[in-house]
């Protein structure tokens, strides 16, 4: 599995800067817009369930499930950025993920943070 398959995050030149910190060095928060979310729920398909069950017998990484989780997290982050942009933000501070089981049929991923308008200090 290459780095592109298990990585994530923003590429260069994104219109909305997303950071996990409270502030951004060299920038000043001009307006706090509020909390934004990106949510997605993915079901597990039978093939990955069987493969994961077999792999759990011998140990090791569940690469199919890892790839699915990466794709799910990236989709949640894209939705968060879309919501922030639609509300007039150019940055999201305190970015976080929550991951939970959704009714034993899939995985829920919620990306969240605080949408703000920043300017160079």
Model confidence at 76: pLDDT above 80: yes
The three-class DSSP label of residue 121 is coil
Backbone angles phi, psi at 47, to 5 degrees: -60, -45
pLDDT band at 5 (very low <50, low <70, confident <90, very high): low
Tallying the residues shown for the chain, one arrives at: 121
Instruction: For the chain, count helices (H), then strands (E).
Output: 3, 4
Full-model pTM? 0.81
Of residues 68 and 83, which shows the higher confidence score? 83
Q: Is-contact 118 24, C-beta < 8 A? A: yes
The model's pLDDT over 18-50, given as tens digits with 9 standing for 90+, comes to 999 999 999 999 999 999 999 999 886 555 555
């Amino acid at each position: 599995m290459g780095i592109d398959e298990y990585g994530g995050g923003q590429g260069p030149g994104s219109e909305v800067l997303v950071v996990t910190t409270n502030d951004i060095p060299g920038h000043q928060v001009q307006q706090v817009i509020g909390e934004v979310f990106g949510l997605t729920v993915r079901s597990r398909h039978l093939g990955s369930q069987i493969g994961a069950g077999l792999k759990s017998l011998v140990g090791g990484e569940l690469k199919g499930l890892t790839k699915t989780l990466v794709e799910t997290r990236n989709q949640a982050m894209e939705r968060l950025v879309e919501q922030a942009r639609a509300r007039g933000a150019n940055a999201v501070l305190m970015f976080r993920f929550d991951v939970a089981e959704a009714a034993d049929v899939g995985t829920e991923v919620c990306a969240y943070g605080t949408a703000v308008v920043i300017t160079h200090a």
